[in-house]
């Protein structure tokens, strides 16, 4: 664990208490069973907003606390542990795009609502099943945006889209004429929607430099990695507890060296994952070049999260295969996050290119 | 968030920085720039040039080779902040620490914690001056991973012990002046019968035989003790406390072997540059795309490991010393070192497998030796399997095998 300030420790502890008391995995199970398309419980997101979480990366002048990415990452990690569903990450990413690239008027118009949790906002970037920010075709002409975005997270309930077009990022209100959405039901049961824009009113984010989209995607990668860190850590703890109580061949499974060594390797892997994720969050807070730190965070999260979620099912044996048990939630959500914002192969390629080979 | 230093502390540090700069200017010969810590190598005493000797003495007398050790025993007595300033300033001019070896990495920190006042006064200054070379008498032919099975026996003979037995894998034993040794003082209890004893390598009855390794080098020895008299004042801690002290020392060893210290720093050209040279490139990318992806994976794993080493060390320091987490650094650091060596061998093809003679650069030949020698890193200092046992049992609380 990175060295935290007193305020960050308090925030982390508050998030930990809240998730374990108010939002255990069973809470997600109820949302999953309700299957209403929004993919989260609006009253629960209201509670998060009350605690100030939706404004953590929003500047104070616009209703947030500007408490930084490491702080937001701590909360997202805790939510990941209990697979708590919320549009917190998506809204924070949209807010960061506006904070980085928006005019004062745009910030004034949208950020306070995002910070208070009244508006769910989200990024709409990819146009196909694989993350590919170099292949964006959506375009804007005369202030009207046209194009289609695939698998937009929280796309079913978003009141604001930050849309990547060929020449930059644009704000499109969720209720604007020409916006239509259809649900894409994925294995994680969270909200993903295909969103079409047919000459919808679009307002450009003109600031933030040439690579505004790149900066926002780095933040997206690191936040996804933070959620995966929470999930992997919890998957590990749950599996360890299971091995310590499950008896086979007259012995507790935890006494078998073959299983001890697998767990020791997973534990070590998760330590590396944690270092990479915390370094990614710290890199954003420090305001420098975030590209490589973000790739490192997401790639380690992809690799270790992938392995840990598989091992969780395997080491639980038959019970891990049942819907009644929680292991499946971690496996199914992990793969969605793994595919979002760059899979391992794509990010390795990008890392090599950034390093000149 | 980083706390800003108090203005006073800041200006005191600035004064210290100026002091370091003038010391380096007066004492570090530019001709030694970037030569690395040749004097601390366990692969044998390099011939010390007069310049190197002068540099070692200058640093030793100032205590700055062991900057944070207490001043009264010859250390630098520096705060962590001052030690960082010293390291920064040395790096700035390409200066290196001439004081090192097992005395600095393992034995010194352990003796500072467990030794008597007399022992510290007797042994620490030789280490801080880089004048006394220490070796480690732990492993025996039947006590490797099962170290507590060691049989070398120290019989009580009144004011001294009489030691008989054999140690193996004694790194640098042929060049060492002294040996910190685990010996059995009681045959009735596997763990509580072990004591931590300091043995003079020149004492009558000590015999050393180098072992030739697959790399062609002989950095390890067999060490035989035949009726070696060891004065009782050379017992560290209490009789029977050796296992506790010995384990503590192993934590220091792991931390240093992991690459979190300086020994496994990856030097030389990057894997990517090497691959471009031997495999070629297309559009600025390494021509072999599979190799390129594996290099990228290695580079990212290495960065994640370095971040972890920094994080774990900061956490252990805050918690008051090294911890069992050093086992993680050891297993991962050594694995990554081996993976890098294997990638280099793969990249260079048969040119990277030369043993000797014409047609190979010194660097290519060094890589071959390093690749072979590196296979020891996951075996010595507690094998990867033993580290995994430690992680499982002591960190994860998985129970002992019944």
Question: Which residue in the set B297, B311, B398 is minimally distant from A260, CB to CB?
Answer: B398
The CATH number of the domain holding residue B161 is 2.40.110.10
3-state secondary structure of A28: helix
Note whether A221 contacts B: Cβ–Cβ < 8 A: no
Which residues of chain A are within 8 Å of residue B389 when distances are taken between CB atoms?
Answer: 257, 260-261, 264
8 Å CB contact between B344 and B371: yes
Between A272-286, B226-240, B260-274, B296-310, the lowest mean confidence (pLDDT) is in: B260-274
Q: Residue B230 falls within a domain, yes or no? A: yes
Q: Please, are residues A15 and A78 in contact by the beta-carbon 8 Å criterion?
A: yes
Q: Is B8 within the bounds of a domain?
A: no
Query: Hey, is the C-beta of A166 within 8 angstroms of any chain B C-beta?
Result: no
Is the domain of B361 the same as that of B313? yes
Cβ contact, residue pair B286, A3, below 8 Å:
no
State the nearest Cα–Cα gap between A190 and chain B, in angstroms: 30
**pTM > 0.95:** no
pLDDT band at B44 (very low <50, low <70, confident <90, very high): low
CA A16 to chain centre: 18
Which residue of chain B comes nearest to A256, CA vs CA? B401
| pLDDT tier, B263 (very low <50, low <70, confident <90, very high otherwise) | very low
Q: What pLDDT score was predicted for residue B362?
A: 87
Contact B209, B192 (CB under 8 A): no
DSSP string for A247-293: EETTEEGGG-HHHHHHHHHHHHHHHHHHHHHHHHHHHHHHTS--HHH
Cα separations (Å) of B205 from A157, B73, B199, B228? Answer: 83, 31, 11, 5
A267: nearest CB among B275, B276, B391: B391
DSSP string, B126-163: HHHTT---EEEE--BTTBSSSGGG---EEEE-SSEEEE
**Listed residues B88, B104, B132: the one ending a domain:** B132
Interface test with A, best of B1, B2, B330 (most A CBs within 10 A): B1
pLDDT of residue A36: 86
Nearest CA in chain B to A71: B1
Chain A closest-CA separation from residue B215 CA (Å): 29
Topology, domain A6-116 = Butyryl-Coa Dehydrogenase, subunit A; domain 1 (1.10.540)
Q: Are residues B236 and B182 in the same domain?
A: yes
- Annotated catalytic residue: which of B253, B281, B324, B342? B253
Give how many domains chain B has, as a whole number. Answer: 3
Q: Which of B284, B314, B397 sits opposite A3 (nearest CB)?
A: B314
Q: Which residues face B286 on adjacent strands?
A: B281
The reported pLDDT for the residue numbered B9 is: 59
The two tokens of residue B13 are: 């540090």
Q: Clarify whether residues B218 and B281 are in a common domain.
A: no
Q: Does A343 touch chain B (CB under 8 A)?
A: no
Contacts of B328 in chain A (CB under 8 A): 267-268, 271
> What is the dihedral angle through the alpha carbons of B163, B168, B169, B173, rounded to the nearest 10 degrees?
40
- Considering only CA atoms, which of B383, B42, B379, B365 is closest in space to residue B218? B42
Residues 6+ apart with CB under 8 A from A128: A135, A150
The nearest alpha carbon in chain A to B401 belongs to: A255
Q: Which residues pair with B171 in a beta bridge?
A: B220
Cβ neighbours of residue B199 closer than 8 Å, sequence gap 6 or more: B137, B163, B178, B179, B181, B206, B225, B228, B230, B234
Taking each helix axis as running N to C, give the angle between helix A88-101 and helix A69-81, from 0 to 180 degrees, rounded to the nearest 10: 160
| Rounded Cα distance, B34 and B164, in Å | 44
Q: Is A348 on the interface with B (CB under 8 A)?
A: yes
| B chain contacts of residue A268, beta-carbon cutoff 8 Å | 328, 331-332, 391
Indicate if B384 and B262 belong to the same structural domain.
yes
Question: DSSP characters for B46-83?
Answer: PPPPHHHHHHHHHHHHHTTTSTTS-GGGTS----HHHH
Rounded CA-CA distance A134/A153 in Å is 19
Q: Is residue B7 packed enough to be buried (19+ CB in 10 Å), middle (13-18) or exposed (0-12)?
A: exposed
Residues 19-78, chain A, touching B (beta carbon < 8 A): 68
- ipTM confidence score: 0.92
Distance CA A309, CA A234 (A): 10
Closest CA–CA distance from residue B255 to any residue of chain A (Å): 15
Q: Kindly list the distances between the CA atom of residue A228 and the CA atoms of A38, A79, A222, A349, in Å, as whole numbers in the listed order.
A: 21, 10, 10, 21
Q: Which among A234, A231, A353, A209 is positioned nearest to A295, based on CA atoms? A: A353
State how far the Cα of B180 lies from the Cα of B136, in Å rounded to an integer: 5
B2 part of a folded domain: no
Min CA distance, A349 vs chain B (Å)? 7
Cβ-nearest to B396 among A240, A255, A348: A240
Q: What is the pLDDT of residue B12?
A: 87
Q: Is residue B41 part of a domain?
A: yes
Burial of A327 (0-12, 13-18, 19+ CB in 10 A): buried
Q: Does B42 score more than 70 pLDDT?
A: no
Range of the domain at B356: 258-395
For the ranges A164-168, B218-222, B251-255, the maximum mean pLDDT occurs at A164-168
Is residue B3 one of the residues assigned to a domain? no
CB contact under 8 A, B331 and A349: no
Those residues with Cβ within 8 angstroms of residue A237's Cβ, 6 or more apart along the chain or in another chain? none
Average pLDDT for B379-384: 88
CA distance linking residue A73 with residue A51, whole number of Å: 15
Residues of chain A in contact with residue B399, where contact means CB-CB under 8 angstroms, are: 244, 252, 254-255
pLDDT at B138: 95
What residues does each domain of chain A span? Answer: 6-116, 121-204, 212-354
- Same domain, residue pair B386 and B272: yes
Find the CATH number of the domain harbouring B97.
Answer: 1.10.540.10
pLDDT confidence tier of residue B7, bands split at 50, 70 and 90: very low
Distance from CA of A124 to the nearest CA of B (A): 28
Structural domain ending residue among the three candidates B182, B206, B240 = B240
The torsion angles phi and psi of B160, rounded to 5 degrees, stand at -150, 170
Check A276 against B303: CB less than 8 A apart.
yes
Selecting from A1, A265, A275 the residue whose C-beta is nearest the C-beta of B307 gives A275
Cβ neighbours of residue B382 under 8 Å, at least 6 residues apart?
A: B145, B250, B254, B327, B330, B390
Q: Is residue B80 part of a domain?
A: yes
**Distance, in angstroms, between B157 CA and closest chain A CA?**
43
B-chain residues within 8 Å CB-CB of A348?
293, 296-297, 300
The tens digit of pLDDT for each residue in B292-341 reads: 999 999 999 999 999 998 888 777 777 666 667 788 999 999 999 999 99
Under an 8 A CB cutoff, do B315 and A1 touch? yes
Low-confidence ranges of chain A (pLDDT < 50): none
Alpha-carbon radius of gyration of chain B:
23
Compute the radius of gyration of chain A from its Cα atoms: 20
Fold of A212-354: Butyryl-CoA Dehydrogenase, subunit A; domain 3 (1.20.140)
CB contact under 8 A, A256 and B401: yes
- Interface residue A248 vs chain B (CB under 8 A): no
DSSP A210: T
Is the pLDDT score of B258 beyond 70? no
Taking the C-alpha atoms of residue B163 and residue A284, their distance in angstroms, rounded to an integer, is 60
Interface check for A286 against chain B (CB to CB < 8 A): the answer is no
Pair (B194, B300) in one structural domain: no
Is there a catalytic annotation at residue B207? no
Strands B178-184 and A144-153: unpaired
Residue B266 has pLDDT above 70, yes or no: no
Q: CB–CB of B272 and A357 under 8 A?
A: yes
Structural domain includes residue B401? no
Residues B127 and B188 in one domain: no
Query: Considering the domain boundaries, does residue B10 fall inside one?
Result: no
> Are B344 and B298 found together in one domain?
yes
Q: Are residues B75 and B138 in the same domain?
A: no
Facing B392 at nearest CB: one of A263, A275, A353: A263
Average pLDDT of chain B is: 89
Closest CA to A43 of A74, A63, A22, A24: A22
Contact between chains at B398 and A299 (C-beta distance less than 8 A)? no
**CA distance, residue A91 to nearest chain B CA (Å):** 24
B46 pLDDT band (50/70/90 cuts)? low
Verify that B283 and B384 share a domain, yes or no: yes
Beta-carbon contacts of B105 under 8 Å, excluding residues fewer than 6 positions away, are B252, B253, B256, B261, B263
In this predicted model, which residue has the larger pLDDT, A24 or B254?
A24
Share of chain B above pLDDT 70, in %: 89
Exposed/middle/buried for residue A87 (C-beta within 10 Å: 0-12, 13-18, 19+): buried
B97 shares its domain with B114: yes
Per the listing, tokens 């590209």 go with: A291
Domain A121-204 belongs to what topology? Butyryl-CoA Dehydrogenase, subunit A; domain 2 (2.40.110)
Same domain, B209 and B329: no
């Amino acid at each position: 664990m990175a060295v935290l300030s007193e305020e960050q420790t308090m925030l982390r502890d508050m998030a930990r208490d809240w998730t374990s008391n108010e939002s255990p995995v069973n809470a997600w199970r109820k949302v999953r069973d309700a299957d209403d398309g929004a993919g989260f419980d609006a009253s629960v997101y209201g509670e998060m907003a009350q605690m100030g979480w939706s404004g953590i990366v929003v500047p104070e002048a616009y209703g947030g606390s500007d408490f930084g990415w490491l702080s937001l990452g701590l909360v997202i990690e805790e939510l990941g542990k209990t697979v708590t569903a919320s549009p917190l990450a998506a809204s924070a990413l949209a807010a960061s795009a506006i904070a980085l690239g928006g005019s004062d008027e745009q910030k004034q118009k949208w950020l306070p609502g995002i910070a208070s949790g009244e508006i769910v906002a989200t990024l709409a970037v990819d146009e196909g099943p694989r993350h590919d920010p170099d292949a964006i075709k959506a375009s804007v002409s005369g202030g009207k945006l046209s194009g289609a975005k695939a698998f937009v997270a929280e796309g079913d309930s978003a009141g604001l889209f930050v849309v990547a077009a060929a020449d930059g990022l644009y704000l499109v209100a969720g209720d604007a004429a020409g916006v239509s959405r259809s649900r894409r039901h994925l294995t994680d049961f969270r909200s993903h929607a295909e969103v079409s824009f047919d000459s919808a009113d679009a307002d450009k984010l003109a600031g933030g430099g040439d690579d505004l989209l790149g900066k926002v995607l780095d933040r997206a990668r690191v936040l996804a990695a933070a959620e995966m860190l929470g999930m992997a850590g919890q998957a590990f703890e749950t599996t360890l507890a299971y091995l310590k109580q499950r008896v086979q061949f007259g012995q507790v499974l935890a006494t078998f060296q073959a299983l001890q060594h697998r767990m020791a390797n997973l534990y070590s892997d998760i330590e590396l994952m944690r270092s990479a994720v915390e370094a990614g969050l710290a890199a954003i807070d420090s305001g420098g070049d975030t590209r490589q730190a973000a790739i490192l965070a997401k790639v380690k999260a992809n690799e270790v999260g992938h392995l840990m979620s598989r091992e969780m099912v395997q080491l639980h044996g038959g019970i891990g295969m049942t819907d009644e048990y929680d292991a499946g939630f971690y496996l199914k959500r992990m793969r969605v996050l793994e595919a979002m914002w760059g899979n391992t192969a794509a990010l390795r390629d990008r890392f090599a290119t950034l390093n000149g080979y | 968030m980083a706390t800003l230093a108090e203005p006073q502390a800041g200006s005191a540090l600035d004064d210290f920085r100026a002091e370091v700069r003038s010391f380096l200017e007066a004492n570090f010969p530019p001709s030694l720039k970037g030569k690395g810590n040749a004097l601390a190598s366990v692969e044998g005493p390099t011939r010390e040039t007069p310049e190197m000797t002068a540099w070692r003495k200058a640093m030793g007398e100032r205590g700055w080779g062991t900057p944070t050790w207490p001043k009264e025993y010859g250390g630098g007595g520096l705060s962590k902040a001052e030690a960082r300033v010293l390291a920064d300033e040395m790096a700035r001019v390409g200066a290196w620490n001439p004081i090192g070896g097992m005395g600095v990495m393992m034995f010194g920190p352990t003796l500072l914690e467990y030794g008597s006042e007399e022992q510290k006064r007797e042994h620490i200054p030789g280490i801080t001056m880089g004048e006394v070379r220490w070796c480690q008498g732990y492993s025996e032919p039947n006590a490797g991973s099962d170290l507590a099975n060691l049989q070398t026996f120290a019989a009580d003979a009144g004011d001294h012990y009489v030691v008989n037995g054999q140690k193996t894998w004694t790194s640098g034993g042929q060049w060492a002046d002294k040996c910190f040794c685990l010996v059995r003082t009681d045959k009735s209890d596997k763990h509580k019968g072990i004591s931590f004893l300091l043995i003079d390598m020149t004492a009558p009855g000590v015999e050393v035989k180098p072992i030739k390794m697959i790399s062609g080098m002989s950095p390890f020895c067999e060490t035989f003790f035949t009726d070696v008299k060891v004065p009782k004042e050379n017992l560290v801690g209490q009789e029977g406390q050796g296992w506790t002290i010995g384990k503590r020392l192993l934590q220091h060893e792991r931390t240093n072997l992991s690459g979190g210290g300086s020994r496994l720093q990856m030097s030389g050209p990057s894997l990517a540059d090497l691959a471009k040279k031997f495999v070629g490139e297309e559009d600025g990318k390494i021509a072999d795309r599979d190799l390129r992806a594996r290099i990228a994976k290695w580079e990212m794993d290495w960065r994640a490991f370095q971040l972890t080493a920094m994080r774990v060390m900061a956490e252990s320091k805050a918690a008051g010393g090294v911890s069992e987490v050093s086992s993680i650094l050891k297993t991962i650091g050594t694995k990554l070192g081996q993976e890098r060596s294997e990638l280099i061998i793969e990249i260079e093809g048969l040119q990277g497998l030369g043993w000797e003679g014409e047609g190979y650069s010194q660097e290519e030949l060094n890589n071959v030796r390093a690749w072979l020698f590196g296979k020891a890193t996951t075996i010595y200092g507690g094998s990867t399997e033993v580290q995994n046992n430690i992680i499982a049992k002591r960190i994860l609380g998985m129970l002992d095998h019944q």
